[in-house]
Structure 1
Amino acid sequence: MDVFARLESEVRGYCRGWPAVFTTAKGSYITDENGKTFLDFFAGAGTLNYGHNNPDLKRRLMEYLEGDAIVHSLDMYTTAKRDFLERFNEIVLAPRDLDYKVQFPGPAGNHSVEAALKLARKYTGRETIVSFTNAFHGMTLGALAVTGNSMKRTGAGVPLGHGVAMPYDNYLDGRTPDFLLFETMLDDSGSGLDKPAAVIVETVQGEGGINVASADWLRHLSDLCKRHDILLIVDDVQMGCGRTGPFFSFEDAGIKPDIVCLSKSLSGYGLPFAVTLMRPELDVWEPGEHNGTFRGFNPAFVTATAALEDFWTGEGMEKQTLAKGEQIERALNEIALEHAGAVDTVRGRGLVWGMVMRDPEMASKVCAEAFQRGLLMETSGPESEVVKLLPPLTVTEAELDQGLAIIAEAMRAVRTPVTA
C-alpha cells in the first residue's frame, strides 16, 4: 500500500482507520484484495442506502450505457432527466403533498447546500444564516460557515462570515426553554443579530454525534421561522432517502421546509447526484445564475429513478427500517448496560445510531477492534466520541445480528485488553 502514502495527499482519512485495499462489494459486504470480507456498517457515509451493487439498479444502469445513451448533458433536456423528474414527483413529492421545484446544483451534498444558502440570500435580500451547534453541512466555504466543527472550519484558511450558531435541541440539557436565546435575540434590536435570510438544520446530526432533534423541537423551529419571515432549510443530505424511516427525515414532525437539500443515496447506486428542492415562489434564479459542469449526470438519473420505483412505491421500506432500528437499539442498550462505566448513552433513529463513549479515545479503539473482526464503522461527534452505525437500509436481520455481535466483542476487547 506504499503507493498511496507516496502519491496520495495526506488529507486522506477513512483509509487510515481501514488499512485494506478493497476490490469488490455486494449488498452489505465489501471485500479486500486478500479475499477478506467485511460487513459494511458505513455504507459510503450514507450514500449506499440500498447496499453495494444492487442487482436491479445495476441492470438498469448497464442497459442505459449499452444503448449509447446520454451520459453528460449539463442542464440540457434528456429522457433520463425527464423520467426522474416525473417519477420523483409521482412517488415522493405528490403523495406527501409537497410542492417543490427541483434544482440540479451539482454532483454532491455541499453543492446542494451552497445553492440553498445562495438562493435564500437572493430571495430575501439578507445575508445572515442561522445554523446550530455541532452542525455539519459540507466542506466548501459557504457550507463551512454554517458548520460547527472547529477543525473543519479552521481548514478554510479564511474568515467564515454571515453565519450564527444557536443551541441545537437539548444542547443545554433542558436548562433553558427551546429557542429562548434565538427568539430573544430576534426580538431585541440591540442583540447584534441581523435578521436572518434562513435557518439551516439537520433533523439528526450525523457528523455532529448522532444528535436527534425531537419532532416537537422541529415544529417549534418551523413555527419560529414562519413568525419571523425566515426561510427554513432542512439539510437531508445524509438523513434523507429513508435513513430515519420515511423518505424525508422531517416527515415525522409534520413540517414542510421552504428548501430541502438531498444527495448521498439519492442516486441509489453511489453515483454523484444532488438536488435542491424549493417552494415554487422561491425559484427566482436567472437562467445560468447558478450552474456547474456536472449537474446533468444521466446515469445517476437512471439509477435514482430505479431506486424510487423499487423501494418507495409502498410503505415496506419505511416499516422495515424502523423495525431494524429497534433491533439495533435493543442490542446497543444491552452493550451499554454491560459497559455502563464506559458508555454514556445510546441514541438514534431508523438506521442511524450512535453509542457515546465517556472516554472519546475509546470510540476509535472500538472501531479499530471491529475492523479487525470484519466490520466497518466510523466515529462521529466533536471529539470523535461516538461509535456510529450506518448500515444499508437493505441489511438483513441476520447481518445486523452479526455486526452487533462484533461490536459487543470489540467493546469487551477494549475494556479488557490482553496482558502478557
Structure 2
Amino acid sequence: MSKIDEKLEPVLDQVLRRNAGELEFHQAVTEVLESLGRVVAKYPSYLENALIERICEPERQIIFRVPWVDDQGQVHINRGFRVQFNSALGPYKGGLRFHPSVNVGIIKFLGFEQTFKNALTGLPIGGGKGGSDFDPRGRSDGEIMRFCQSYMTELHRHLGEYTDVPAGDIGVGGREIGYLFGQYKRLTNRYEAGVLTGKGLVYGGSRARTEATGYGAVYFVERMLATKQLAFDQRRVVVSGSGNVAIYTAEKITEFGGKVVACSDSSGYVVDEGGIDLALLKEVKESRRERISEYARLKGDGARFSDTGSIWDVPCEIAMPSATQNELTGRDAKALIQNGVIAVGEGANMPSTPEAVRFFREAGVLFAPGKAANAGGVATSALEMQQNASRDSWTFEQTEQRLADIMRRIHDTCAATADEFGTPGDYVLGANIAGFVRVAEAMRALGVI
C-alpha cells in the first residue's frame, strides 16, 4: 500500500483533528489520499484553493431527535442523521441506514465513499448518506411505520428531487421506503416521486432496483475476471451477508455458472456444499425475516450452520463480502489467500480492512473495491430518478441492460485510470483517482463554494 504524499499530509492531519474518534471516516479518507500522490505529482493544480480539503469536508451535516411510540405506548428517542457531502455533480444521493451502530462518523464515511462511487457512474448525482441508530429488528410494522414517519417529519425539509434524494441501505428496504415516502407526500402535499428511490413498483419504483447492487457487483467482477481469461463458471464462491445485496449477488453468480456455497448474517453463517438454494434463502430472509440458522434447519442434509469462526474460513475461489464495513480482516484475507482465492469483489461499503486490502494486493488477488463494484445500486437509483422525471417506466430487461453497461464502463474506467498512473490492474487506485478527478473538475469549475 502506498503512503500519503507529503503534500497531502496536512489534509489528513486536518481531517483527523476535526473529526476526532470517527475511525471509519478516517479510514475512508486515508485510503483515498493514499491514491492521490500520483495525481498531485502529475497535476499540481489540484493542490490549489484548498480543493482537496473541501472534498474531505461535508457541505452539510444534519443531526436530529427522532421520538416515536412503541406498541405498548412507551416513548423512545433515537438520533437521526443526514450528511450532505458533495453536490458538485448533482443532488445529494445516497441511502439511509437504520442500525444500532449508526453514528455521525459512520454516516460521514459512507457519504464520502458515496461521493466518489456516484461520480464513477458517470451520472449527474452528488454524494450523501443518512440514517439512525434505530434497530428495526424485532419491531412490528406499526412501530417501524411510526418511527419512519417521525424520522421523515424532520428530514423532509432538507430533501427534494433537485436537492437530496435518499434511498435504502442496511435496515431500510421497500417497507421502510414506502412509509418514508408516504410521510413525505403527506407533509409536502406533493407527489414528488423522484425524492426517494427504491420505491415499490406500484408507486414509481424501477424494475431491477432490488437486484441492482448485487447484480452490479457481479457484472464488475465478471469484467475483471475476463481481463485474466477467467470466469465465474464452475467456481466456488462465498458471499457474506444474506440481505438484499448478498441474495442478488448469489442469484447472478448462479446464473453465470458459479456455485455459492456459503452466506451469513450477524448470528453466524451457513455452508451448503450443494450450492445455496436461493428460493429457500429468499423465503427465510425476505419473507419470514428469520435468522440464517433457519435456512440450515429447513434445508436439512448438506447444509450446516455455525456461530463460531469466520465465513472466510470456507474455501473458495471468489469472495464477495456483502454485509457491512470492516467485516473481512487481515486474518480472514490470509485464510482466503491460503485457500486459493483468485478474486474479491466488495458488495458492501468498505467491507475489507486496510490490512486485508494490502494482503490481497500484495498476493496479486484481483480486488474490486466497493466504491466501484457496488455502484450498481445507486446507478439504478439514478435510472429510477430518470424514469420518474419523464413519467416513464422501463422493462426489467431495459433497466438491467443499462445497469450492465454502466458497471462494465466503471470497470473499464478504473482499469484505464490505473494504467494511466502506472499501476496496471490496481482497481483501488483506479477507482479512487477516477472518482476524485470527476468531482474535483466539477468543483473547480464552480468556484470556491
TM-score, normalised via structure 1 length: 0.33
TM-score, normalised via structure 2 length: 0.32
